[in-house]
Amino acid sequence: MKKGFFTLLFVFSLTAAFAQTTPADEVAGVRQACFNYIDTFYKADTTLAYASIHPTLQKRGFFFDEKTGRYSKQLEMPFPALIRLAKTWNKDGKRANAGSPRTVEVFEVADKTAMAKVTAVWGIDYLHLIRENGNWMIVNVLWQSPPKSLQALK
């Protein structure tokens, strides 16, 4: 009886150790980091950036110029530039408000990495996050202005 109990306990512990489930609190942590990213700009609150964006951030993207009808060349923004922009981008509340798009889709959460998509007034951002010291931090962002190809389908 004892042998069967210990065998069952051993199998259960192995199953628990190798389970591929993602706890809801980890997904919530990723979502919160993504919302902090949006609100860094919407609320001009850089404290949110320091809480959820890694100082080694690499942000790259493409802006669509309505005048020329073309996308920009690849633009790059390291963390210090993001902080400078966030302080002024919506300081007067004219670029984003309570009705502005603010959605987060979490694609995957692993032990140390995660991937999500953010939709905001400026367009779409694909985010890579890492778990560091118990916190989810954004390390990579690939963004573009609202997709013109998708607007034609509406």
Residue 14 has what pLDDT?
42
Each domain of the chain, given as residue ranges in start order, spans 23-151
State residue 152's pLDDT score: 47
pLDDT for the residue numbered 23? 85
- Angstrom distance (rounded) from CA 113 to CA 127: 11
Determine the pLDDT at residue 3: 63
Per-residue pLDDT at 148: 79
The pLDDT, as a whole number, for residue 44 is: 97
Output the CA torsion sign for 78, 128, 61, 45.
negative
Tokens at 109, concatenated: 């959460």
CA distance 28 to 134: 13
| CATH 3.10.450.50 for domain 23-151 | yes
Q: Which residues of the chain have pLDDT under 50?
A: 5, 8-22, 152-154
Other beta carbons less than 10 A from residue 53's beta carbon? 25
- Contact by Cβ (8 Å): 136, 30: yes
- pLDDT at res. 129: 98
Report pLDDT for 154.
44
